A and B are shown apart, each in its own frame.
Chain A
Amino acid sequence: MSRISSDGLPRKRGRLRRDIVLVLLMVPALVYFLVFHYGALAGATIAFADYKPFLGLAGSRWVGLENFSQLFGDPKFWHAVWNTIYVSALELTFMFPVPLALAMLLHSLTYTTVKRFVQSVVYLPHFLSWVIVVALFQQMLGGAGVLNGLLADNGITMVQIIGNPEMFRPLVIAQVVWKESGWCTIIFLAALANIDEQHYEAAAMDGAGWWRRLWHVTLPAIRPVLVLLIILRLGQILTAGFEQFYLQRNAVGPEVAEVLDTFVYFKAFEGGAFGYAAAAGLFKGVVGLLLIYAANKVAHRLGEQGVYSR
């Protein structure tokens, strides 16, 4: 064996001996991935079958690529894809700057008590389920809600926010911003906390103002985390919160509110087209894969680590 050095086997063995502790450390997590993800991933093959849950995979009819050709020929599918991308793009636009700004504001506070209080408060909405968030928004902004009540009392015409297709996307973003901004600050705050105070000190001594300290110290320090988050979010670009849309879809109709996840849900659980739904799931994954690949490449070009190394 040791003679077949071109295979690099002896070298590998040496590495294994060197890394044995690290390899053992990996085992529990890898077993988990193998069993609960790769074990279940066998289910992805139903994308190539006319899968009937009660018949199982063996009892279902194999249809090859039929699910995919149906999917790609369905204008409603493309419509849902478009809606999802639209919303995801809006979320990308708002859900990084807002929490980041909030985190910086919090980070700049000098009174620890105030800081902790505000932090704890803004993180609360993350724990509410969508059913309640939607109900709260309706209570505030609905046609019979607080805002319109105030407007009516002052003789101003009603503004239709809820149930108005044109307002739907801003509404959805407002809901996400309200619910998740505080939660998303956590990771930024942790990153900000890790910045060496001495950098600020040095910058300040060089006469750098607030703006230049932000640009030259703060942002470079949290850039790796930011890049990581953006890349991972891009991988999920075809995912827009199922429940949020499912709950509000009736109000504005599928034209603006049908996202890929609701589309797939209706196909699978109301239409019994599980194979078709799985095909859509695979499509989603492939798109995510391509985007992560591309985004990672861009990150490398910009001198960032990205999610995985070059």
Chain B
Amino acid sequence: MDRRSLLKMVGAGALATTGVPMLSACGQGGDGGAGVANEGKNLVPWPTYVPFQGPTPDGAPDATGVQALYKKYPQKLVQAVTDKVGDGSKIKAMLITYGTPPKPAADNQFWTAINKALNVELELVMTPEADFVKKLTTVMASGDLPDIIMFGAGYQVADEQQFIAAQCQDLSEFIAGDNVKNYPALANIPPYSWKGMGRISGKLYGVPIERPMPGQQLFVNRTLLDSVGAPRNWDQDSYFAAMKALKGDKRWSIGASAASVAGGFANYHAYCFGAPNMWKVEGGKFTHTFSTPEYKQALEFMRKMYEAGLYYPDSTTVSQNDLKTHFYNQTVASMTDGYGAWQAASDTVGDKWAVDLALPYGKSATPWQGSGRFGYVVFKKAPADRIKLLLRVLNWLASPFGTKEYELANYGVEGVHFTRGAEGAIVKTELGKVENPTNVPIKYIAAAPGVLYYPGGGTLAQRVYDYEKVALGKSIADPSNGLRSETYSTKWQQLNKVMGDAHAAIVFGRRPLSDWDTEVKSFIANGGDKMAEEFAKEYAAANS
């Protein structure tokens, strides 16, 4: 073949590409993407908070975010929803899943029971976590939206807010201010969770899936720590000494994973050194935690522990799942994980040894609060009646602890998915381990705010409560939480990736600590400063 015919082919290919207007048909035009900021907009009020008056807890919740503690399952459950919820119609919801694939609704007693209670036909589009963003992006591109879409789970999808503002239903008239009282369970979602979701252009577009205030935690093997005489209320030196003492022949003191080394693991050390939670506000000015001296000191300390050989040797590659296995079998003595992981840990470990949450070391420690939400759901634009129906579905699914609806949504059908043990405690059946809201992930449509009750959890729930009592008082929030920044939404993921790479390189000794300053400089220059500016404006608008 000669060059000319090759070029001709390229030309033909290019022609073919422009000749088919396939993509343009799907565009919606409209809002070019700007205009999601709240600054200078009319802000609708946050939904009024009307806490549910449930069963009396064994440990009271408080304003710092400490959750209600229940040592026993309530004897008497109330019926939260008496009106009809659905009209038998189909509802398609796109959700993330961390579970295994469930049986179809018809053969799945849990799913069937939920459908029956709601009087709707839930069609769930479930996407495993690893591919969640890709699926979401294609659905956003097709313009063919399901009724309910879940966002979040730690991901900021490109142009997420712009997409929502352009194509999803504005819920303000339904849930802003006192309107939310039509949906009592949604009114029971605490304000920090709504604020964590935030408004878009001053309006409310979604309903958050609440998570308690504590962010990522350091889980420790208390039994091992006790064996080396480590104090519960430790400082930096006693922490380091304990980690050194725990390092054994085939045991490592510290487990980090590919997912946590620049995330939860770094966060724990950063707040122990007193670094601000993502951003610091001073005189209306935003500064990122990366550029604080405390953060750099934390990195230096993490590196020092690496040099002392305290990390599990495959910390950078091991998956969070495998790391958990090593934690459970006591190969590693500590690891960071999401707050809710204590339940699974307790389940697996039983009474072989004591799982515990580590208090932060250091007197000036400032534990970081989470965003108050796992994610949030938005609706496809629809007539008011349909939206109200969807909100009723959410309201039912978010029914609080102590209601019959909660029991069904969380544990399934009595006698099928669970039985009652001593003092009415929930005991899962074998079927309940397969048919549950993890594998049929309705808990990502809407869920009740968490309480500290754990079937068969014994003393662990109490320990977690005690932890919250001590740690949350000193904890600080991320001031940018729920605020909008154009630069953040387009640049953060990438900049954070670069910074994450730098974390790993510095902590694991591949690059000198001094490189951190260079990285921070380029972080600021490449968007960090613009984010700070935009957040500062939003912050001022939100707090005026």
Q: Do chains A and B touch in the complex (CB under 8 A)?
A: yes
A44 at the interface (CB under 8 A from B): yes
B162 at the interface (CB under 8 A from A): yes
Once A54-B163, A271-B158 are accepted as A-B contacts, the answer to whether A293 and B508 lie under 8 Å apart by CB is no
Residues of A contacting B167 in the complex (Cβ-Cβ under 8 angstroms): 54
A37 to B396, CA, bound (A): 46
A-B contact count (CB 8 A): 163
Q: Is the CB of A54 within 8 A of B162?
A: yes
Q: Is the CB of B33 within 8 A of A52?
A: yes
Chain B 17-42 interface mask (CB, 8 Å, partner A; 1/0) = 11111111111111011000000000
Q: Is the CB of B158 within 8 A of A269?
A: yes
A53 to B141, CA, bound (A): 4
- Nearest Cβ on chain B to A279's Cβ, whole angstroms: 14
A297 to B313, CA, bound (A): 50
Residues of A contacting B318 in the complex (Cβ-Cβ under 8 angstroms): 138, 142
Residues of B contacting A42 in the complex (Cβ-Cβ under 8 angstroms): 17-23
Residues of A contacting B21 in the complex (Cβ-Cβ under 8 angstroms): 42
Residues of B contacting A271 in the complex (Cβ-Cβ under 8 angstroms): 158, 490-491, 493-494
B56 at the interface (CB under 8 A from A): no
Q: A309: which of B1, B159, B261, B490 is its contact (CB, 8 Å)?
A: B1
B6 at the interface (CB under 8 A from A): yes
Chain B 496-520 interface mask (CB, 8 Å, partner A; 1/0) = 0100110011001010000000000
How many chain A residues sit at the interface, stated as a range, is 35 or more
Stretch binding the partner chain, chosen from A11-19, A96-104, A250-258? A250-258
Q: Which B residue's beta carbon lies closest to that of A142?
A: B314
Q: Is the CB of B261 within 8 A of A250?
A: yes
- Nearest Cβ on chain B to A128's Cβ, whole angstroms: 15
Residues of B contacting A125 in the complex (Cβ-Cβ under 8 angstroms): none
B330 at the interface (CB under 8 A from A): no
Q: Which A residue's beta carbon lies closest to that of B21?
A: A42
Once A52-B159, A53-B140, A149-B250 are accepted as A-B contacts, the answer to whether A250 and B317 lie under 8 Å apart by CB is yes
Q: Which A residue's beta carbon lies closest to that of B167?
A: A54
Q: Which A residue's beta carbon lies closest to that of B505?
A: A253
Residues of A contacting B312 in the complex (Cβ-Cβ under 8 angstroms): 143-144
Q: Is the CB of B258 within 8 A of A59?
A: no
Chain A 137-175 interface mask (CB, 8 Å, partner B; 1/0) = 010001111001100100000101011010000000000
A135 at the interface (CB under 8 A from B): yes
- Nearest Cβ on chain B to A87's Cβ, whole angstroms: 18
Residues of A contacting B24 in the complex (Cβ-Cβ under 8 angstroms): 56-58
- Nearest Cβ on chain A to B312's Cβ, whole angstroms: 7
A251 to B507, CA, bound (A): 12
Once A42-B18, A55-B29 are accepted as A-B contacts, the answer to whether A135 and B316 lie under 8 Å apart by CB is no
- Nearest Cβ on chain B to A294's Cβ, whole angstroms: 11
If over half of A's interface residues share one DSSP class (helix, strand or loop), that class is named, otherwise mixed; here it is: helix
Q: Is the CB of B27 within 8 A of A56?
A: yes
- Nearest Cβ on chain B to A147's Cβ, whole angstroms: 12
Q: B494: which of A144, A160, A163, A266 is its contact (CB, 8 Å)?
A: A266
A138 to B508, CA, bound (A): 18
A272 at the interface (CB under 8 A from B): yes
Q: Is the CB of B501 within 8 A of A253?
A: yes
Q: Is the CB of B143 within 8 A of A54?
A: yes
Q: A56: which of B18, B32, B141, B491 is its contact (CB, 8 Å)?
A: B141
A40 to B141, CA, bound (A): 14
- Nearest Cβ on chain A to B365's Cβ, whole angstroms: 27
Chain A 291-302 interface mask (CB, 8 Å, partner B; 1/0) = 001001000000
Once A54-B143, A59-B27 are accepted as A-B contacts, the answer to whether A41 and B17 lie under 8 Å apart by CB is yes
B285 at the interface (CB under 8 A from A): no
Q: Is the CB of B20 within 8 A of A54?
A: no
Residues of B contacting A134 in the complex (Cβ-Cβ under 8 angstroms): 317
Q: Which B residue's beta carbon lies closest to that of A266?
A: B497
A62 to B275, CA, bound (A): 43
Q: Is the CB of A39 within 8 A of B20?
A: yes
Q: Is the CB of A293 within 8 A of B6?
A: yes
Residues of B contacting A310 in the complex (Cβ-Cβ under 8 angstroms): 1
Q: A135: which of B16, B163, B322, B497 is its contact (CB, 8 Å)?
A: B322
Q: A54: which of B13, B140, B326, B497 is its contact (CB, 8 Å)?
A: B140
Residues of A contacting B117 in the complex (Cβ-Cβ under 8 angstroms): none
B278 at the interface (CB under 8 A from A): no
Residues of B contacting A38 in the complex (Cβ-Cβ under 8 angstroms): 13, 16-17, 20
Q: Is the CB of B134 within 8 A of A270?
A: no
Q: Which B residue's beta carbon lies closest to that of A292?
A: B6
B233 at the interface (CB under 8 A from A): no
Once A53-B141, A138-B314 are accepted as A-B contacts, the answer to whether A272 and B490 lie under 8 Å apart by CB is yes
Residues of B contacting A273 in the complex (Cβ-Cβ under 8 angstroms): 158
Once A57-B24, A61-B32, A135-B322 are accepted as A-B contacts, the answer to whether A250 and B504 lie under 8 Å apart by CB is yes
Q: Is the CB of A55 within 8 A of B497?
A: no
- Nearest Cβ on chain B to A265's Cβ, whole angstroms: 9
A152 to B22, CA, bound (A): 61
A236 at the interface (CB under 8 A from B): no
Residues of B contacting A142 in the complex (Cβ-Cβ under 8 angstroms): 313-314, 317-318
Q: Is the CB of A251 within 8 A of B501?
A: no
A158 to B133, CA, bound (A): 39
Residues of A contacting B261 in the complex (Cβ-Cβ under 8 angstroms): 250
Please provide the chain A residues from 113 to 143 with a CB less than 8 Å away from any CB of chain B in the complex: 134-135, 138, 142-143
Residues of A contacting B166 in the complex (Cβ-Cβ under 8 angstroms): 54-55
Residues of B contacting A251 in the complex (Cβ-Cβ under 8 angstroms): 258, 316-317, 504
A56 to B140, CA, bound (A): 9
- Nearest Cβ on chain B to A132's Cβ, whole angstroms: 11
A31 to B159, CA, bound (A): 36
A15 to B16, CA, bound (A): 26
Residues of A contacting B158 in the complex (Cβ-Cβ under 8 angstroms): 52-53, 268-274
Which of B17, B19, B23, B252 has the most chain A CB within a 10 Å cutoff?
Answer: B23
Q: Which A residue's beta carbon lies closest to that of B23?
A: A57
- Nearest Cβ on chain B to A154's Cβ, whole angstroms: 14
- Nearest Cβ on chain B to A162's Cβ, whole angstroms: 6
Q: Is the CB of A162 within 8 A of B29?
A: no
Residues of A contacting B313 in the complex (Cβ-Cβ under 8 angstroms): 142-144, 148, 158, 160, 163
Residues of A contacting B32 in the complex (Cβ-Cβ under 8 angstroms): 55, 59, 61
- 8 further contact pairs, Cβ within 8 A, besides A165-B510, A272-B158: A41-B17, A41-B20, A53-B137, A54-B140, A55-B29, A58-B23, A158-B313, A271-B494
Taking Cβ atoms with an 8 Å cutoff, the residues of B that contact A are: 1, 6, 10, 13, 16-30, 32-33, 133-134, 137-138, 140-141, 143, 157-159, 162-163, 166-167, 249-250, 252, 258, 261, 312-319, 322, 326, 331, 490-491, 493-494, 497, 500-501, 504-505, 508, 510
Q: Which 6 A-B residue pairs are closest in the complex by CB-CB distance?
A: A56-B27, A143-B313, A272-B158, A53-B141, A270-B493, A57-B23
Taking Cβ atoms with an 8 Å cutoff, the residues of A that contact B are: 38-46, 52-61, 134-135, 138, 142-145, 148-149, 152, 158, 160, 162-163, 165, 248, 250-255, 266-274, 289, 293, 296, 308-310
Q: What would be 26 A-B contacts, judged by CB atoms less than 8 Å apart?
A: A41-B13, A42-B17, A44-B17, A45-B18, A45-B23, A46-B23, A52-B159, A53-B158, A55-B28, A55-B29, A56-B27, A57-B23, A57-B24, A58-B23, A58-B27, A59-B28, A250-B258, A250-B316, A250-B504, A266-B493, A267-B494, A270-B493, A270-B494, A272-B159, A273-B158, A289-B10
